[in-house]
Amino acid sequence: MTRRRLHVLYEWGDDLRPHGSAYIRLLRPLSHPAVQGALDVTFGRDDEGQPVDAVIVDRLWRPEMWLGDDAAMARARRLVEAAHARGARFLYALDDNLLEVHGPDAGANPQAAVVDYWLRAADGVLVTTEALRQRFAPLNPRIVVVPNALDERLLPGAVRPTSADDRVVIGYMGTLTHDEDLRMIAPALRTVCARHPGEVELQVVGVVERRETLNALDGLPLRMVSPFPEEGEYPLFIVWLTHRLRWDIALAPLVDTPFNACKSDLKHLDYAAMGAAGVYSRVPSYAGTVRHGETGWLAANDTASWVEALETLIARPALRHALARAAADYLYTERVLARRAGMLIGALEELLA
């Protein structure tokens, strides 16, 4: 049987490197040993017009597409037309509600014009959550959900010992779209740190960009941590994150917005790989997979609930360790590519049938 040929246009940034989400959802799964021989796949920043059965475009593809201007729209149309002109399917891959990155106000989301066009024009769409499928269903009926999974080849493979001293290390990781999430729990962090002077350290990876976020965290026992620049690309970043950092508790607050409502549980997987006990907002993104009190702790989006969660886990190290172990068991038995890579192949076959 002839193998299908695919060309993946991953999303890349100003540094010309693939974004982390492209590695997680496309590059690592489609090059995993578990699916070797199933497809002929090439990856690149541009469409070279090669003969393929499908072109997969990831998110916004190129930095300038975020502008959503006439030039971006013209490029978006040319890409679809070029694929169809040579008999290839055009597939679109998304892991975020890019129609509403900055809320429902269309004027604040210039990229939405490109996303809307590609969703409507696509011969099939790959998404990471059921919420995304429902959000995009009015624009395209051919949508398949493939939940995120991590590449076990990059992970430690077992829960490691946490912080070596007497302090409890509480960590948060997030991109620049998550300032508001971190600010939501800042009062809880301030309360807990005041109750445990010298006993708690906060570590933050990424995220803090806006002045109001820095103000909300001012005076807390906070340490910003980051990899070396050469470790910024996803495969090395996830190795740095899961092998180098030692967090006792890891935080995943998520404000209830149209954008966040479609988010996946990726932080649950990352924190499980780190060996940390995770505290997650009690929202659909996490409530569907995090088992409260077993693989993580779910907290309502109010200060009292987050204080309770943190106080509970600070006071009960045995519970922290149990949550971390159970989360890691869940990750390695259900959410790694050795178990899940075939799901993406099945989804592609369904869309190309």
Q: Where are the domains of the chain?
A: 4-149+337-352, 153-334
User: Is the CB of residue 169 less than 8 Å from the CB of residue 199?
Assistant: no
pLDDT on residue 194: 96
Residue 62 has pLDDT above 80, yes or no: yes
Do 4-149+337-352 and 153-334 agree at the fold level?
A: yes
Q: Within its chain, how far is the Cα of 264 from the centroid?
A: 7
**Backbone phi, then psi, for 184, in 5-degree steps?**
-60, -35
Provide the pLDDT confidence category of residue 261 given band limits of 50, 70 and 90.
very high
- The chain-wide mean pLDDT, for the chain, equals 93
Provide the pLDDT confidence category of residue 240 given band limits of 50, 70 and 90.
very high
CA distances from 40 to 8, 20, 75, 82, 84 (A): 11, 22, 26, 20, 19
Options 3.40.50.2000, 3.40.50.300, 3.40.50.720, 3.30.565.10; CATH for 153-334 is 3.40.50.2000
Buried b (16+ CB within 10 A) or exposed e, 48-63: eeeebbbbbbbbbbbe
Closest CA to 100 of 205, 257, 217, 221: 257
What's the pLDDT tens digit per position in 125-179? 999 999 999 999 999 999 999 999 999 999 988 776 665 567 999 999 987 667 8
Average pLDDT rounded to a whole number, residues 215-220: 86
Please give the CATH number for the structural domain made up of 4-149+337-352: 3.40.50.2000
Closest CA to 33 of 350, 336, 346, 269: 336
| Pair of tokens at residue 292 | 């409260």
Residue 106 has pLDDT above 60, yes or no: no
CA distances from 291 to 265, 272, 287, 312, 323 (A): 12, 13, 7, 16, 9
Residue 187: strand, helix, or coil: helix
Average pLDDT rounded to a whole number, residues 231-242: 95
pLDDT on residue 160: 67
Provide the pLDDT confidence category of residue 217 given band limits of 50, 70 and 90.
confident
Listed in sequence order, the DSSP H helices in 139-292 are 179-195, 211-217, 234-244, 266-274, 284-287
What's the pLDDT tens digit per position in 267-314? 999 999 999 999 999 999 999 999 999 999 999 999 999 999 999 999
